[in-house]
Structure 1
Amino acid sequence: MSAVTYRRPGLVARDHVFQVPLRHDEPAAGQIEVFGREVVAPGNEDRALPWLVYFQGGPGGKAERPLSTSAWLRRALQDYRVLLLDQRGTGRSTPANRQTLAGLSAAEQAEHLALLRADSIVRDAEVLRKRLIGDEPWSVLGQSFGGFCALTYLSLGPEGLRQVMITGGIPTLTGHADDVYRAAYPRTLRKNDAYFARYPEDAAIARRVVEHLAEREVIMPTGEQLTPERFQTLGIQFGQASRFDALHYLLEEAFVGDVLSDTFLRGVDAAVSFAECPLYAALHEAIYCQGAASQWSAHRVRAEFDEFDWTRSGRVNFTGEMIYPWLFEQDPSLVPLREAAELLAAKADWPHLYDLDRLAHNDVPVASAVYHDDMFVDRDQALESAEQVRGARTWVTNEYEHDGVKASPVVLDRLLAMNRGDA
């Protein structure tokens, strides 16, 4: 374990790098590095503060970098020593991407990627906890996929937990990926309705763009082609309040005369590329798999919703977080992982991520924010799952979108109060 300390206005940070087993059930199979950034408020460096570990959303998302302290972190630093964890395969942890996996066969790539799910992430966290604070439990804040990890933590190692807070991240505990996407497509359509109600003139621009892309080859500044279906993936931005309007500002500068502008194409490329987060695409459906294959669930289920077929629908509707097999043919950061992705989609022997009996007998305080209109996590599935966790308390609100915990300190403050019994 190594540590480097530095200061910036509002916080003091210490960087840690840990060696952990690639396979926790087979330590001799090799080691990888996991990175964590310890953060405290100035003046608290030497105080005996309780620890809070932050599980980032994703999958495949590195912990946020505190360029400007987000709402939840400002609140957390009042009481905690925070660990911003780069989950295995991401950020400064040993990365997993087309470059680092290039020397492996497709089967070896798939085998490695399968070790990057919530169960392994939680076991990594337990190694870090024991090395940092020994037998003391710590608190967990899980955002989005981080909430999935928190429930896996409650299933695999509740003795390491003082309390759990979850925001926009309670998954179905027993459902198939098909159940997830059959609920997700209608939610995404409602976000499209809300977007076009706000910007009705954008419907004609979106139609013009998609027809333009269908008629000719359009190359983005990175050298890759923009296709109609890839353009439609910009709807992923509708799920966060901070990004909901981003598509409008792209579309209002879409054309220069009869061609798509460089400004538009550069902005689209930044939004649709998986270069910074390839694991999001490679593992997105795998996070729902327990003893069954996904078989490209989002792709199959999409056929049940003609509204997303722009050639048959009166309006160009944008998709959300869905991952499709053709992404591994069109995105250069994913193309080298295409065969591995096919193997992962066909993999049926995924281990279970949740221990329903252990959750039913849970005695760790659990508080969660369930966003009523969350585009990414289904409200009804979340509430059904929360009922299976003994003592879990839920706060259902339509005041915030999926990124609510980053937007307002009220969210974390409310969850802490719920676990104290003050709310």
Structure 2
Amino acid sequence: MTSELRYRQPGVVLTDHHFSVPLDHARPDGESIGLYAREVVATGKDPETLPWLLYLEGGPGFGARRFVGRQAWLERALREYRVLLLDQRGTGRSTPVSRQTLPLRGTPERQAAYLAHFRADSIVRDCEAIRPRLTGGAPWTVLGQSYGGFCTTHYLSTAPEGLTAALITGGLPSLDATADEVYRAAYPRIERKNLAHYARYPMDVEATRRIAAHLAESPTELPGGHRLTVEAFQSLGTFLGTGDGSHQLHYLLEDAFVPTPAGPALSDAFLEAVRARLSFAGHPLYALLHEPIYAQDPGAPTDWAAERVRAEHPRFDAAKSLAGDEPVLFTGESVHPWHFTTDPALAPLRETAELLAARTGWEPLYDPARLAANEVPVAAAVYHDDMYVDTAHSLRTARAIRGLRTWVTDEFEHDGVRAGGPRVLDRLLALVRDEAS
């Protein structure tokens, strides 16, 4: 481990940490990759007297959030912890994964084999490898947001001795659902979010139909070479899973067209905003591993589950909606084969993605027997009708983890731990400490 000099932001002292860990923890003497993590301590506090809180970001494929000062939940955490913001393997300042770096691995087959080491099991083993170097062997508290909660559930399954407490926000996974079952549960939720959006902004029904009809006739190239098709436009439904997402989507749609000498056209401002939202350039692992994070049956590939299950829900077929008078429905948090033809950040990785979709031999990620005997204090915020993680799946898992306490709320959407400031973390800490009913 190497640590750089400390530096400061308003109200906090930051320290950069760099680690080397095995690519494959089953082969500790084999190839190594780099991990980066940022330590955050409140100004004026002695870090040596503070327990550690490890933050695992959502994803897969996103580096830890870059806070400035004491933003969001960090304000509450810094009252009593020193916080470690980990860039999970392949993200942020850890050894990166992208269209630029993966060719260093060689063929698509080798790239896919390399990426098989980037799921929750490897992430948790990374955490356990760096914990003794930071804490001297003491356990720490883990806060897992979304996919970070999936990783935390794996932590409880495989290395609970490393945990003082586990806090999960919007990220209690099903212990046994296949990728098909995850998306079969997801599409009805996504439809409900669409209908709620259109009830709030009825003018968006026509605006969406107009944009979709335009793209059906003339797919448009975005700045940077991204190809905007009807399906890509529909994927803006990811907005609808966050607290202010419906409002953001409305503001994006309301001035999509501008007059030109050739007639109405999609504006440069609209196209640039869409490109920024849809591009995977900053998080290609999200697209590559989005379905493998659900793979647990050694004999079954994920095989583009979201694309196949979508065919069971014809209301998401924009062509049929445009042929009639139905609203065009947006899709949600799902990855499809066409992502690897429309996005220049993903196009070079198309064959690798196909190999991952066809891959078998995935190991189970959760140990129901060990979770049933859990002794680590655990609390989870479950957001009612969360668009990204099925509430019924989460509550079934909550019942399967001994001693887990839930806070089910419709005050927040999936991003509650960020949007709610210190309140969500405060509530979870109170639950694990038996300070709240």
TM-score bucket of the superposed structures, by smaller chain: over 0.9
Q: Is the 8 A contact 2:170 2:414 kept in 1?
A: yes
Map 1:403-418 → 2, pairs under 5 A: 403-408=415-420, 409-418=422-431
Which residue pairs with 1:107 in the alignment? Answer: 109
Residue 275 in structure 1 maps to residue 281 in structure 2: yes
Matched ranges for 1:80-159 at <5 A: 80-103=81-104, 104-159=106-161
Q: Which of 301, 304, 320 is equivalent to 1:296?
A: 304
Which of the residues 309, 313, 316 maps onto 1:305? Answer: 313
**What amino acid does structure 2 have at the position aligned with 1:51?**
W
Instruction: Summarize deviations over 1:63-93 as a string: whole Å, max 9, x none.
Output: 0001353321111001100000000000000
Structure 2 matches for 1:151-300, cutoff 5 A? 151-257=153-259, 258-291=264-297, 292-300=300-308
Point out the more displaced range, 212-221 or 406-415. 212-221
Contact persistence 1:308–1:318 (CA under 8 A): yes
Distance in 2, matches of 1:235 and 1:289, equals: 24
TM-score when normalising by structure 1:
0.98
CA apart distance, 1:223: 2.5
**Match status 1:385 vs 2:397:** yes
Q: Secondary structure at the match of 1:53?
A: strand
* Alpha-carbon separation, structure 1, partners of 2:132 and 2:292: 28
Which residue identity lines up with residue 2 of structure 1 in the other structure? T
CA contact (8 A) 2:225 2:344 kept: no
Whether the 8 Å CA contact 1:295–1:346 is kept in 2: the answer is yes
Aligned to 2:388: 376
* Equivalent position of 1:22 in the other structure: 23
Aligned residues: 423
- Partner residue in 2 for 1:331: 343
> How far off its partner does 1:27 sit?
1.7
Shift of the 161–94 alpha-carbon distance from structure 1 to 2, 3 Å rule, reads same
The residue number in structure 2 matching 1:316 is: 328
Question: What is the rounded CA distance, in whole Å, between the counterparts of 1:410 and 1:420 in structure 2?
Answer: 15
Q: Are 2:3 and 1:3 equivalent residues in the alignment?
A: yes
**Percent identity between the aligned chains?**
57
> For residues 337 and 302 of structure 1, what CA distance do their matches in structure 2 show?
23
- Check conservation: 1:162, 1:365, Cα contact below 8 A: yes
**TM-score (norm. length: structure 2):** 0.95
Contact 1:12–1:45 (Cα < 8 Å) also in 2: no
> For 1:279 and 1:377, how far apart are their aligned partners in 2?
19
What are structure 2's unaligned runs of at least 5 residues? none
Contact 1:102 1:336 in 2 (8 A): no
Helix, strand or coil at the partner of 1:244: helix
Shift of 1:47: 4.2
Letter in 1 for 2:333: E
Secondary structure in 2 matching 1:175:
coil
Deviations 1:32-67 (A, max 9, x none): 000010001101144410100000000001000013
Equivalent residue of 1:235, what SS?
helix
Q: Counterpart of 1:240 in structure 2: which amino acid? A: T
Distance 1:157 1:306 in 2: 43
Mapped to 2, the partners of 1:267 and 1:199 lie a distance apart of 20
Task: Judge conservation of contact 1:70–1:407 (CA < 8 Å) in 2.
Answer: no
Q: 1:338-353 residue pairs with structure 2 within 5 A? A: 338-353=350-365
Determine the C-alpha separation between the residues in 2 that align with 1:108 and 1:188.
35
Give the counterpart letter for 1:287 in structure 2.
I
1:66 is the counterpart of 2:64: no
1:118·1:148 contact (CA, 8 Å) conserved in 2?
yes
Quickly say closer, same or farther: Cα 1:59–1:176, change in 2 above 3 A.
same
In structure 1, C-alpha distance between the alignment counterparts of 2:253 and 2:145, rounded to whole Å: 30
Structure 1 spans left out of the alignment, 5+ residues: none
Q: CA deviation at 1:391?
A: 0.7
The residue identity in structure 1 corresponding to 2:301 is A
Q: Which amino acid aligns with 1:31?
A: S
Cα RMSD (Å)? 1.0
Structure 1 residues 184 and 68: CA distance shift in structure 2, 3 A:
farther
SS of 1:71's partner is coil
Higher mean alpha-carbon deviation, 44-53 vs 164-173, is at 44-53
CA contact (8 A) 2:186 2:387 kept: yes
Distance (Å, rounded) in 1 between the aligned partners of 2:345 and 2:233: 17
Distance 1:110 1:249 in 2: 39
| Equivalent residue letter for 1:65 | R
| Residue number in structure 1 paired with 2:434 | 421
Deviation at 1:29, TM superposition (A): 2.2
